[in-house]
Amino acid sequence: MTEAELVILGSAQDGGLPHAGCLCANCRAARSDWTRRRLPASAGIVAGDRLALIDATSAFEEQYHRLWERSGRSRDFDGERYGAPEIVILTHAHAGHYTGIWQLDRSVLAARGTRVLSPPRMHTFLSRQEPWAGMVREGFIVLEPLPLDTWIELLPGVTLTAIEVPHRSEWETDTVALLVAGRNSSALYLPDIDQWDEWQHNITDMVAGVDAAFLDGCFWAAPTSRNVPHPPVVETLERLQPLVDAGKRVSFIHLNHSNPLCDPASAEHEQVIERGFQVGGEGDGVRL
């Protein structure tokens, strides 16, 4: 039986940590101590020698390599190059989450028909834009709409369900959370949402229905700008505390570079851990 897992490949907001042009304490620390750095939010799914990358960030090369190393492909490989991922799943059309797919073009991986799955309106957006449309014409990628609220068999023994969430859309595209399920357990991957109360689903019920949840933890308290709404970590702690007290695993990802959770010595980080939550990091995961 093929063992599958969901693995976190990046835990910072789109720009990563350190953040370009920023001199905050977190960014300064990450520049002097590379153990403090965080890659942009991304994840991967591995089932034996099959794998799928979730979101394509500016750290595409490093994140894909880490995913490849966890797969059966790396253990049986003795060549000088390994091929492109067979599947890339995109959660939404913010540049930090999808523009890394350019590396599937001839300039880097010269992929052969990598399936790029994205929410329906994002699929239309990509199909009409260059260079993505050109990459389709030349056979590097195949753009496919990701059905909403319908499970699909993504890899052997692994199903995926895309669930639309409210998130700012400058180009009239859609954003999804991903429900990933294997033979033994399930996980909710939800890096971006505007507000919990704007979602048609109850976040408490959604987390109660999975074994592990990786959730938007962008800002500790109020967002730094009204133009980038995200649910504050302090609110999510209160909502989900009873579930965590009962043993549910909840991790915060997609951390803004200014978030005190990026500092493992901060009082906020200590509070989260003491309350039984987790601060997500690269390499975290769950067996499916």
Q: What is the CATH number of the domain that holds 195?
A: 3.60.15.10
Written as six digits, the tokens of 71 are: 């797969």
Is the Cβ–Cβ distance between 118 and 90 less than 8 Å? yes
Angle, alpha carbons 268-234-261 (nearest 5°): 30
The total number of structural domains in the chain stands at 1
Smallest CA-to-CA distance from 150 within 164, 170, 171 is with: 164
Total-model pTM: 0.96
Question: Cα–Cα distance between 238 and 151 in angstroms, integer?
Answer: 30
Give the span between the Cα atoms of 207 and 278, in whole angstroms: 14
Q: What is the mean pLDDT of residues 100-112?
A: 97
Q: Which range marks the domain in which residue 141 is found?
A: 4-287
Distances (CA, A) of 3 to 69, 101, 164, 213, 222: 15, 27, 28, 20, 40
Q: What integer pLDDT is reported at residue 38 of this predicted model?
A: 98
- In this structure, are residues 209 and 183 in contact, taking their beta carbons and an 8 Å threshold? no
pLDDT by residue (tens digit) across 228-265?
789 999 999 999 999 999 999 999 999 999 999 999 99
| Token representation of residue 32 | 């002097």
Query: Rounded mean pLDDT of 116-128?
Result: 97
Q: What is the pLDDT of residues 43-101, one digit of tens each?
A: 999 999 999 999 999 999 999 999 999 988 888 888 888 999 999 999 999 999 999 99
